[in-house]
A and B are shown apart, each in its own frame.
Chain A
Amino acid sequence: MGPGISLRVTLSRSVLPASSEPQLVYALLELTAQGLPMTLPKLPLNLCLVLDRSSSMRGERLQQVKEAAGRIVEMLDADDYFSLVAFNDRAEVVVPAQRVRNRNDLKRQIGMIEAAGGTEMATGMALALQEIQKPVQSRSVSRILLLTDGRTYGDEGRCVEIARRAQNRGIGLTALGIGNEWNEDLLETMAAHESSRTRFITSAAEISAIFTDEVKRMSSTFAQDIALRCEVRPGALLRSVDRVRPFIARVQAVEERELLWNAPLGDWSGAEPQALLLEVVAPALGIGDHPLLRLNLTYNLPGMNLMHQQGELVLRVAVRSADSVSYEVDPTVKHWLERLVAYRLQASAWQDVADGRIEEATRRLQMAGTRLFEAGETELARTVQEEATRLLRSGNASAEGRKRIKYGTRGLIGQE
């Protein structure tokens, strides 16, 4: 079999009881790279760093950031492009987009960044978008890497708009927050798109590892423009699609026409497992075997010159008389669903807090804690419980606890 992506689906229950009512079926879709050569030709990279140099970055944080940026310059190849934008109240292009030829020169320019002033992110993002589009490359992996430790005021809408413009042109965004002051809602919104992600850096010492991780992930990108089409049988409904690996994120599935949904999935770094969880409502079905869902994956493998590839899989369910069907649930599907439920619960809890429903929020967080325990995420579950207790007592969650829970439930803290 030639190189490509293979699809594997596990259902929450392989046999459904016959029923006159609709039933919910969970499908875990795992994607696996197949038939790839051991060493893939690396695509040229185009990376733009957007660094917050407001006064709060002074000291260890900026020092670590500069060292990490220097390390990135070391890691890039001569045919990769690099640019760097720094922002405080204003923004400036420190390193214009260029090939990584004179490493010492680049590092000297990085070394001259100094911390001062406030935080205004949008102008920095705008300059980054301008720089990253300068190189003309037919095939490449483009990424804006944003790092901030503060809140930008008044230009949040512009930040999101610029991020979307970049993403719609195939430029991914990785948004990193460090410390406890930054606006996680903004970074999450900016990164809520394919080929984008956000991470929470708990200590300056992690910066270097996370930067190099990002470059490694870009370098191992082997599939691009991945899109999933889901077609259900008449009467059925696709209720939701969520990414569960490498991290939890909602996938925007658009109902293109009746019974057909389309979900863009972006790039795929071969270094990470990919899995999605689908919730499908099956209509009432008679005893027998029935096709429920047709999954069609389209993608490009630019490194191997294979464009417009596709894989297809038809999912069938067996329906048997109710008394012969046991109610057993696949443990892997249940595990990922449990983590997804915990993520959704905490997300609604923060919405409850914003709307002043503290008791409701506490209940949701407690339940999120239960789900995380059951999923074996003991430490995170404890953080959630502590924050629930704090919330009930004081009516407020701590800024750090909130970030830890938001990013922790998605699997976005620390090493992945």
Chain B
Amino acid sequence: MQLCTHCNAQQLDGAIFCSECGASLLGSPQRRETTASLNRAAATGDATAFEMSEPLVIDAPPVSAAPTFTLVVINSGRRITLEASDNLLIGRKDNQRGIYPDVDLGLDGGYDAGVSRRHAMISLQNGSYCIEDLASANGTFVNGRRLPPQEPVPIRPGDELKLGTLLLRFEIG
């Protein structure tokens, strides 16, 4: 037997998806960094294409045993897997202003979706994940509810995060 890490249901060995909640039971989720939006941008050569000319750095899988979480960008399917730390900045990279967020949503149409350069912060506090809106112009939403600025709010796996109008899903592992 194995336990589903998402809903704790008992599952038979060999099961690929949990029969209760549908979560993947495979040990390490496959990383899929090539996204539909990137391919489109490359194909049409539109405004985001210049960013494409920069080498795409794919994070090496974490070596340490620190807990990881994943943000799934809904419109592109891109999965961003991160190691939990005190403060992870989500926003848009701006070379001129020297803003280099941990998660750059510029590649996922973040500008059009109204993602601020410094939009929100995800942190691991006392074993639970929190998101804090950094007084962004277009707001941060958790499951459709707008967050008050500068107040960390706990989030759970499966929660839908919206930055401006860009949809993300928060997953653990």
On A, residues with C-beta under 8 Å from B are 12-13, 16, 19, 21-26, 281-282, 327, 329, 334, 337-338, 341-342, 344-345, 362-364, 366-371, 373-374, 376, 378, 381-382, 385, 388-389, 392-393
Q: Report the separation of the CA atoms of residues A26 and B13 in the bound assembly, to the nearest whole angstrom.
A: 12
B22:A364 contact, CB within 8 angstroms: yes
A23 partner, pick from B13, B26, B158, beta carbons under 8 A: B13
Q: Report the separation of the CA atoms of residues A376 and B144 in the bound assembly, to the nearest whole angstrom.
A: 25
| B1 partner residues in chain A, CB cutoff 8 A | 21
B13:A388 contact, CB within 8 angstroms: no
Q: How many residues of B contact A (CB 8 A)?
A: 29
Known: A363-B158, A370-B171. A385 touches B22 (CB 8 A): no
**Of the 9-residue stretches B53-61, B72-80, B113-121, which lies at the interface with chain A?**
B72-80
A337-B16, A341-B17 given; 5 more Cβ-contact pairs under 8 Å: A19-B13, A329-B26, A367-B158, A374-B30, A389-B143
Chain B nearest CB: distance from A152 CB in Å? Answer: 33
Determine whether B9 belongs to the interface, using a CB cutoff of 8 Å to chain A: no
| B32 partner residues in chain A, CB cutoff 8 A | 374
B169:A24 contact, CB within 8 angstroms: no
B21:A367 contact, CB within 8 angstroms: yes
Nearest residue (CB) in A for B141 is A389
B11, B24, B27, B36: residue with the most chain A Cβ atoms closer than 10 Å:
B24
B17:A373 contact, CB within 8 angstroms: no
B interface secondary structure, majority:
loop
Nearest residue (CB) in B for A17 is B13
Q: Report the separation of the CA atoms of residues A369 and B74 in the bound assembly, to the nearest whole angstrom.
A: 9
Chain A nearest CB: distance from B113 CB in Å? Answer: 13
List B residues 113-157 near A (Cβ within 8 Å): 143-144
Chain B nearest CB: distance from A326 CB in Å? Answer: 11
Closest 3 CB pairs of A and B: A23-B14, A24-B14, A24-B12
| A371 partner residues in chain B, CB cutoff 8 A | 17, 22
B14, B15, B22, B26: residue with the most chain A Cβ atoms closer than 10 Å:
B14
Determine whether B167 belongs to the interface, using a CB cutoff of 8 Å to chain A: yes
B26:A327 contact, CB within 8 angstroms: yes
A382 partner, pick from B11, B14, B74, B143, beta carbons under 8 A: B74
Nearest residue (CB) in A for B32 is A374
On B, residues with C-beta under 8 Å from A are 1, 11-17, 21-24, 26-27, 30, 32, 36, 72, 74-77, 143-144, 158, 160, 167, 169, 171
A24:B17 contact, CB within 8 angstroms: no
| A363 partner residues in chain B, CB cutoff 8 A | 21, 158
Chain A nearest CB: distance from B172 CB in Å? Answer: 13
B16 partner, pick from A26, A362, A373, beta carbons under 8 A: A26
A393 partner, pick from B24, B36, B144, B158, beta carbons under 8 A: B144
B13:A338 contact, CB within 8 angstroms: no
| B36 partner residues in chain A, CB cutoff 8 A | 378
A327:B27 contact, CB within 8 angstroms: yes
Nearest residue (CB) in A for B75 is A382
A341:B26 contact, CB within 8 angstroms: no
A329:B16 contact, CB within 8 angstroms: yes
| B143 partner residues in chain A, CB cutoff 8 A | 362, 389, 392
**Sample (30) of A-B pairs whose CB atoms are under 8 Å apart:** A19-B13, A21-B1, A22-B12, A23-B12, A24-B11, A24-B13, A24-B14, A24-B15, A281-B12, A329-B16, A334-B16, A338-B17, A341-B22, A366-B160, A366-B169, A367-B21, A369-B74, A369-B169, A371-B22, A373-B74, A378-B75, A378-B76, A381-B77, A382-B75, A385-B160, A385-B167, A389-B143, A389-B144, A392-B143, A393-B144
Chain A nearest CB: distance from B1 CB in Å? Answer: 6
B13 partner, pick from A21, A329, A334, beta carbons under 8 A: A21
Q: Report the separation of the CA atoms of residues A366 and B143 in the bound assembly, to the nearest whole angstrom.
A: 11
Known: A12-B14, A378-B77. A367 touches B22 (CB 8 A): yes
Known: A382-B75, A392-B144. A12 touches B16 (CB 8 A): yes
| B11 partner residues in chain A, CB cutoff 8 A | 24
